[in-house]
Structure 1
Amino acid sequence: MRVLFASTNGSGHFHPLVPLIDACTARGDEVLVVAPPRLEASLAAREQPYRIGGQPKDDEVMPVMTRIQALPPDDAAALMVGEVFGRLGVAAMLPAMEEACREWRPDLVLHEAFEFASVVAAERQGIPHARVAVSAARFTGSTDGLLRPVLDPYGPRIAERLRESPYLTRLPASLDPSPYAVTHRYHETPEPGVLPDWWGGSEEPLVYLSLGTVAGALPTATGLYRAALEALSGLPVRVLLTAGHGTDVSGLGPIPPNVRVEAWVPQADVLHHASLVVCHGGSGTTFGALAAGVPLVCVPLFADQPTNARLVTESGAGLAVTPTGGPADDAPELGTDDVSRIRSAAELVLKEPSYRARAECLADEVRATAMCGELIDALDPRS
């Protein structure tokens, strides 16, 4: 089978495709990945063939992003999906997607949930397509209504056909019920590596602190991390902070002896040992923690993060601390009260065993879903 994978910018959008790409490769399928220029370094490091498409120009995107930063979370998410991923993203990526579908002739197109140019190209060529969840279905479904004016000018019923296509998600049904008639749930099986002993043999609980690749690249990321470290200071824990390659760690100030700061560590390695994850509620970190049975304290900032934080609290697998510090320089920051609230939430989740127990129940539910290879078998249009 020939499978075309399509992604927008950002590792958080590309990474959900990776286990499916690997499953197809293991099956002996032919794989082609089509993505914007900013993913080229990630694609070049892999073995699968890829093509680079276009991306919106900065002078088109920046005015929209400025508007997004000034809006409430729900309105900002709607503008991001409708304008950046929708109108601008489709126009930029469509030529490369159409060329790949027309010349390479895939049997199946798998696209991350907010990459829509491949849907247009697949519909025009009569190729089956399915979308791979990046966020919770609650969030994705809430943005579907924005897509008809974006997609239907490219052809009749394209937005409707997107909604009718198979929806592939790593989230268990009890956590994230799906509004989509054809929903396939699956799980990946990462092999955790050895986590270095950066704490001199200490056996205190390990807290994993991360703001992901997007929030971690904000101008205020250093301040956000500093506030989170202050919240965890004094607790009897080990802390691993992954700051990303774009954060100036020199601005974090003195690092407590129980804290290790790294640019990046494989998430599976950390979660295998962690007792708690403190994060921004980004989908990759949040759902990875739950799949590993690790409870969370979420500090949601924007986009789908408030939705993810609500799912965590509603499930009983953690707590959410909504920042009250307010915007500064058009980016979120944490106030003094937030620091004490994060500390209290972390103490409670570490102390109360019900949070860990609920996270482990969700992990068991995840492991009961199909494996990636089984999912690809089910999607093969030739069978």
Structure 2
Amino acid sequence: MRVMFAVSDFRPHYYPMVPLGWALQAAGHEVRVVCAPGQQQHIQHAGLTPVPVLRDMDPLLWARFGVHLAARSGTLPPDLGLVPLHPVTGEELASFEDFDSDAFLRTARADTAAIMGQRISSSVDFARQWRPDLVVHDLLNLDAVVPAKALGVPAVCHLTGPIGTEETEWGLDFIPTHFSREYDRYGIEERGTDLIEHVVDICPPSMAPPTRATRLQVRHVPYNGPGAVPGTAVRRGDRPRVCVMWSATVPLLYGAVAFTVPTVLEALAGLDADVVLTMSTESCKRVGPLPANVELLEQAPVHTLLSTSDVLVHNGGAGAALAAIAAGVPQLCLTFGAEYRANGQRVSATGAGRVLPGLAGARDIRATMRDLLGDPVFTERARALRDEMQSQPSPTELAEVLEEMAMG
């Protein structure tokens, strides 16, 4: 069987697909990942085969622009506390009014339409040459249904985490509202969620994302990129151990104010606990002096640190949240933006963690951490959630289901 993966230009949204790619390859199937050149190296590092035929897009630009439009229209939830950023440069503005969104749209609309058209036509061209039996795509690359429909093969949307295809809150609806004319060229009348017939759901059932599509349940296998882990990182002492992970993407989306690691470390310095902190190379350069109880690891895969950790502190990303669930570890989500806040709220609703605003002070963070470390109920709920996740079919079992689907 040949399986065409089609991914967006936002790694956190397609990294959860990687274990399924491994399972398909291990079962003897061929996997090719249609992507933009900017994603080629990341896909190669994951052990999959990229096909870099798509034009690059900047998902951070459009995410910042979405926040800008929502603020200008009055639909941005004020309690998110987001600062005005220049959508193109990411620089902080004095006011949302300091960016001319109308002028930007006049120049960007034609360019974006050309990029979207190229991405679809290139995907279709590759699909017609390679003849896949199945297409798997992430939620941000809905255009991948076009080559699937052009060839008459099934398309499956692989979800990222707790956010589904039928969201009603602002900032959670990743389904495009503007579609390329290429849809009409290939005779596709459906739009939006009507294009999604099957979803791969990696959440435990008690956190099932909302969707009308047929749900293909699978056990989540954490993957957040390559990286080495020193031996000291998997050995623990007599004290509780807290793992802190902070995404480099969050400040790019929400500004320098969203790099709150110094506040987190200030809060944890007041606890009788050991702390291991992992971040990107660039983020490590920004962190400043470390408290005596903190060990800094550059680019360590967070899931490898959780087997010897008692709590994970992170910014509410789906990858980190699901890694903590897979390890049975309680978590504290310090969130900026709608997606991160929703992830944190949905974890908190299970009793396996807590969520605080991203700009929470050291005193509130320290008090919440004392609860998470001191109350065994959080660990019990986290382990129950882990067991629920582990009871789901493995990626190998899902590969068999997809093979049956592809073969009709």
TM-score computed with the length of structure 1 as normaliser: 0.84
Change (3 A) 1:373 1:310: same
Asked if the contact 2:219–2:393 (Cα under 8 Å) also holds between the matched residues in 1, the reply is: yes
1:45 Cα shift? 2.8
Take 2:20 and 2:62, find their aligned partners in 1: how far apart are those partners? 35
Q: Does 1:215 align with 2:250?
A: yes
Take 1:204 and 1:182, find their aligned partners in 2: how far apart are those partners? 46
Change (3 A) 1:257 1:89: farther
Q: Does 1:115 align with 2:141?
A: yes
Asked if the contact 1:31–1:49 (Cα under 8 Å) also holds between the matched residues in 2, the reply is: yes
Corresponding letter in the other structure for 1:266: P
Which one of the candidate residues 120, 125, 128 is aligned to 2:154? 128
Asked if the contact 1:199–1:238 (Cα under 8 Å) also holds between the matched residues in 2, the reply is: no
Corresponding letter in the other structure for 2:30: E
Take 1:130 and 1:376, find their aligned partners in 2: how far apart are those partners? 12
Give CA deviations for 1:279-311 in whole Å, capped at 9, x if unaligned. Answer: 111000011111211111111112411111111
Give CA deviations for 1:57-115 in whole Å, capped at 9, x if unaligned. Answer: 66x974762452574698599x9xxx99x978744522321122111110000111221
Counterpart position of 1:362: 385
1:47 Cα shift? 4.2
Counterpart position of 1:299: 334
Corresponding letter in the other structure for 2:35: A
Take 2:114 and 2:329, find their aligned partners in 1: how far apart are those partners? 37
1:231 Cα shift? 1.5
Q: Does 1:382 align with 2:407?
A: yes
Take 2:304 and 2:325, find their aligned partners in 1: how far apart are those partners? 14
Asked if the contact 2:275–2:294 (Cα under 8 Å) also holds between the matched residues in 1, the reply is: yes
Take 1:38 and 1:159, find their aligned partners in 2: how far apart are those partners? 26
Counterpart position of 1:53: 53
Asked if the contact 2:16–2:222 (Cα under 8 Å) also holds between the matched residues in 1, the reply is: no
Take 2:314 and 2:64, find their aligned partners in 1: how far apart are those partners? 23
Counterpart position of 1:197: 232
Change (3 A) 1:147 1:216: closer
Change (3 A) 1:127 1:139: closer
TM-score computed with the length of structure 2 as normaliser: 0.79
Asked if the contact 2:222–2:323 (Cα under 8 Å) also holds between the matched residues in 1, the reply is: no
Counterpart position of 2:204: 172
Asked if the contact 1:2–1:29 (Cα under 8 Å) also holds between the matched residues in 2, the reply is: yes
Counterpart position of 1:226: 262
Counterpart position of 1:349: 372
Q: Does 1:159 align with 2:183?
A: no
The worse-fitting range, judged by mean Cα deviation, of 31-40 and 171-180 is 171-180
1:176 Cα shift? 2.3
Take 1:69 and 1:260, find their aligned partners in 2: how far apart are those partners? 37
Q: Percent identity?
A: 25
| Structure 1 residue ranges (4+ consecutive) displaced by more than 6 angstroms after TM superposition | 86-89
1:204 Cα shift? 1.5
Asked if the contact 2:244–2:278 (Cα under 8 Å) also holds between the matched residues in 1, the reply is: yes
Corresponding letter in the other structure for 2:372: V
Take 2:122 and 2:3, find their aligned partners in 1: how far apart are those partners? 15
Take 1:92 and 1:167, find their aligned partners in 2: how far apart are those partners? 25
Corresponding letter in the other structure for 1:197: T
Asked if the contact 1:55–1:89 (Cα under 8 Å) also holds between the matched residues in 2, the reply is: yes
Take 2:298 and 2:166, find their aligned partners in 1: how far apart are those partners? 30
Change (3 A) 1:167 1:127: same
